[in-house]
């Protein structure tokens, strides 16, 4: 079984040469500590931890899975020790404010850490990942007392967090949530109900687990307007910040699932459990959006991570395994046959994986700068800045989550294909990547729901196309600047064509939706995928532009590295970007071919 190697060269290329993170950090109130030396040291040390501690637990964690013993969940062997190392290394508080025991580094550094951890071992990374969402919810919506009680142990990693939304009857449509919260005389609430599919809902890694729970007050309005948000600790905190009495929340079962088997997915029963309201009554869903947005960007990483891991392993295999001779003539005459890597069809698969992994990573790092500015606005109490960057990030979030996780699945499957039949055999690990990755398009809002959020809410309803106009203007300005460079001109021309087309498609869909409301839903996924391909094209062109410049002047990397960047960008434009045109065509097809059949006439069975 191969192991994970942190792609530090690519990460540093993006940070230092493409997106000027050193300059960016100098503009942030949290950026003073993020000097190039510190950033470098953090990346190197995190890479080492992921390679040496998390990667070796990837396959064993999958084989062993989690167990429910006497109502308590046990994680696979080695997870507790790895978690202790993680917590004692201060990794959980990397981007948390210093007043709560964090290291006060910019939010983006947390994302770089999450990417490496998630690629080395996605199941493991979910435990601290959900805690981050809980921490962010408390930072933004918790009372002073709640922040004092919960944040420090969460930041230190002594306690962990969960996100409890889903119930048996609803995952997407949270307006159907039934869990009840009855007010008590002492100001707390008593929660009763069942949540399912709760990641990290119970485990043996931390001394306490803080559940962030959606529930309904007795006289709450129906639907999403009647949902409130609560903190429900597994153990009630004592006044001195310790762990007290056991609360009425128990794990009723562990889901048996296709992948991420070392991540505990729990049924949680709330039986007169004590809870504390976060934020105003009946505004729980708005407060929960903080958590969901954190989780969505976190889940977008699950598109890039598996693409990277699967690519690393497929590349090694394609260099070693031999099969027949290359069509253009023998490449390894001293060997019995040429290595797989010399066959163009294998290159198609490898280059697709590479373009997805590196293009996806760059999309995430582009967005992480916006997240930094948003957090910075919060810290400075500058609501205008918060709203500005929230809008920009809000437009990109469904694209990152929906598009990158769909492509992550493709890349993982291609990696398995490179291995041929051996990819299907467990010992090589390729089928595990496929199984582990599959969930990414499902949780934190399915691809279809991300697509509706993008097209229905953010593009049509909230901005009437303005979000697309704003983003494409930026892309077009970039493209115009590079029209005169012979190596970049084809990409720049293509980008100019696509930015025009993206706006035109938005107007066409908007007009069609006025006549037939089903069009928003029938066009949404194609619109999201189209948006993803064009956004990735922009991000690949930015990498190519830096590579061309550095080939001329010299940079931090080798000439071969920059040539590889340029070649991958050209591959993306020629081989992957044309898919956008298919999505452009299908999104304009009327909804009636989908909707004309009566629901009762869909089946051919008796
Ligand atoms: C391993 C795992 C871990 C999870 N972790 C958590 C967790 O930590 N916390 C938590 O609360 N939940 C968690 N979930 C739940 C997950 O977020 C939900 O399963 C997901 O949001 C989808 O909800 P659902 O399963 O109820 O599907 P449904 O909502 O029933 O959707 C079914 C299908 O219908 C589509 N659909 C639904 N409504 C519409 C619509 N209006 N228009 C168009 N299409 C629609 C969906 O896109 C989907 O394809 C987890 C799930 C799994 C499997």
Q: Which tens digits make up the pLDDT trace of 228-276?
A: 999 999 999 999 999 999 999 999 999 999 999 999 999 999 999 999 9
DSSP string, 519-570: HHHHHHHHHHHHHHHHHHHHHHHHHHHHHHHHHHH--SS-HHHHHHHHHHHH
For residue 9, the model assigns a pLDDT of 98
3 state DSSP class of 427: helix
For residue 288, the model assigns a pLDDT of 82
For residue 294, the model assigns a pLDDT of 67
Both structure tokens of 100: 């709560």
For residue 286, the model assigns a pLDDT of 87
How far, in Å, from the CA of 442 to the mean position of ligand 1?
6
Pocket of ligand 1 (CB under 6 A): 163-166, 170-172, 197-199, 257, 265, 439, 442-446, 448-449, 452, 521
Distance CA 565, CA 362 (A): 12
**Region 550-568 average pLDDT:** 97
For residue 378, the model assigns a pLDDT of 87
Distance CA 438, CA 294 (A): 20
Do 352 and 411 touch, CB atoms closer than 8 A?
yes
Annotated active-site residue in 444, 470, 570, 598: 444
Q: Which tens digits make up the pLDDT trace of 22-45?
A: 999 999 998 999 999 999 999 999
pLDDT at 122 over 70: yes
Chain-wide mean pLDDT for the chain? 96
Distance CA 416, CA 204 (A): 33
3 state DSSP class of 276: strand
For residue 287, the model assigns a pLDDT of 85
For residue 354, the model assigns a pLDDT of 98
Active site residue 72: no
Do 415 and 305 touch, CB atoms closer than 8 A?
no
Which helix (H) or strand (E) covers residue 472, if one does?
helix 466-481
For residue 295, the model assigns a pLDDT of 67
User: Which residue's CA is the nearest one to ligand 1's atom 12?
Assistant: 166
Q: Which atom of ligand 1 is nearest to the CA of 442?
A: 20
Q: Which tens digits make up the pLDDT trace of 126-148?
A: 999 999 999 999 998 999 999 99
**Region 370-394 average pLDDT:** 92
Q: Which tens digits make up the pLDDT trace of 309-364?
A: 999 999 999 999 999 999 999 999 999 999 999 999 999 999 999 999 999 999 99
Sequence-distant (≥ 6) Cβ neighbours of residue 287 within 8 angstroms = 137, 140, 141, 229, 278, 279
How far, in Å, from the CA of 257 to the mean position of ligand 1?
15
How far, in Å, from the CA of 242 to the mean position of ligand 1?
35
For residue 291, the model assigns a pLDDT of 63
């Amino acid at each position: 079984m191969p192991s994970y190697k942190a792609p530090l060269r690519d990460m540093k290329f993006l940070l230092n040469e493409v997106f000027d993170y050193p300059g960016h950090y100098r503009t942030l109130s949290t950026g003073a500590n993020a000097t190039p030396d510190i950033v470098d040291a953090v990346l190197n040390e995190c890479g080492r931890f992921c390679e040496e501690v998390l990667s070796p637990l990837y396959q064993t964690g999958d084989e062993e899975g989690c167990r429910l013993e006497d109502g308590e969940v046990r994680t696979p062997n080695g997870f507790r020790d790895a978690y202790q190392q993680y917590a004692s290394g201060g990794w959980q508080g990397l981007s948390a404010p210093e007043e709560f025991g964090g290291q006060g580094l910019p939010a983006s550094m947390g994302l770089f850490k999450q990417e490496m951890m998630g690629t080395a071992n996605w199941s493991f990374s979910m435990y601290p990942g959900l805690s981050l969402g809980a921490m962010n919810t408390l930072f933004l919506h918790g009372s002073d007392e709640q922040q004092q009680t919960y944040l420090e142990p969460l930041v230190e990693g002594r306690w962990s967090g969960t996100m409890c939304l889903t119930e048996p009857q609803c995952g997407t449509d949270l307006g159907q949530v039934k869990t009840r919260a009855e007010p008590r005389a002492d100001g707390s609430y008593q929660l009763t109900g069942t949540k399912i599919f709760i990641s990290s809902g119970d485990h043996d890694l931390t001394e306490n687990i803080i559940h962030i729970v959606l529930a309904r007050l007795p006289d709450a309005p129906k639907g999403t307007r009647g949902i409130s948000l609560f903190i429900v600790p597994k153990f009630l905190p004592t006044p001195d910040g310790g762990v007290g009495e056991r609360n009425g929340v128990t794990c009723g079962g562990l889901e048996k699932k296709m992948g991420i088997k070392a991540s505990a997915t729990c049924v949680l029963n709330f039986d007169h459990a004590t809870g504390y309201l976060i934020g105003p009554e009946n505004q729980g869903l708005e407060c929960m959006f903080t958590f969901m947005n954190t989780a969505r960007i976190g889940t977008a990483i699950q598109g890039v991570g598996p693409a990277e891991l699967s690519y690393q392993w497929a590349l090694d295999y394609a260099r070693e395994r031999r099969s027949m001779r290359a069509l253009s003539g023998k490449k390894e005459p001293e060997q019995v046959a040429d290595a797989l890597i010399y066959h163009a069809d294998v290159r198609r698969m490898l280059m697709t994986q590479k373009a997805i992994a590196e293009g996806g990573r760059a999309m995430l790092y582009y967005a992480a700068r916006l997240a930094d500015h948003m957090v910075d606005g919060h810290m400075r109490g500058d609501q205008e800045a918060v709203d500005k960057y929230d809008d920009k990030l809000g437009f990109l979030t469904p694209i990152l989550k929906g598009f990158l996780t769909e492509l992550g699945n493709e890349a993982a499957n291609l990696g398995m294909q490179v291995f041929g039949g051996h990819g299907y055999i467990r010992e090589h690990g390729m089928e595990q990547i496929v199984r582990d990755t599959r969930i990414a398009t499902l949780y934190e809002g399915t691809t279809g729901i991300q697509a509706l959020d993008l097209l229905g809410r953010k593009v049509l309803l909230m901005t009437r196309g303005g979000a697309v106009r704003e983003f494409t203007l930026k892309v077009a300005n970039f493209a115009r600047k590079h029209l005169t460079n012979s190596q970049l001109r084809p990409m720049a021309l293509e980008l100019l064509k696509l930015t025009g087309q993206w706006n035109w498609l938005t107007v066409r869909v908007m007009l069609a939706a006025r006549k037939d409301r089903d069009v928003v839903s029938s066009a949404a996924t194609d619109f999201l995928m189209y948006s993803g391909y064009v956004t990735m094209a922009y991000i690949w062109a930015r990498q190519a532009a830096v590579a061309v410049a550095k080939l001329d002047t010299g940079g931090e990397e080798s000439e071969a590295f920059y040539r590889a960047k340029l070649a991958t960008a050209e591959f993306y434009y020629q081989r992957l970007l044309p898919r956008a045109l298919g999505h452009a065509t299908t999104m304009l097809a009327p909804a009636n071919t989908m909707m004309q059949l009566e629901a009762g006439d869909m089946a051919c069975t008796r």
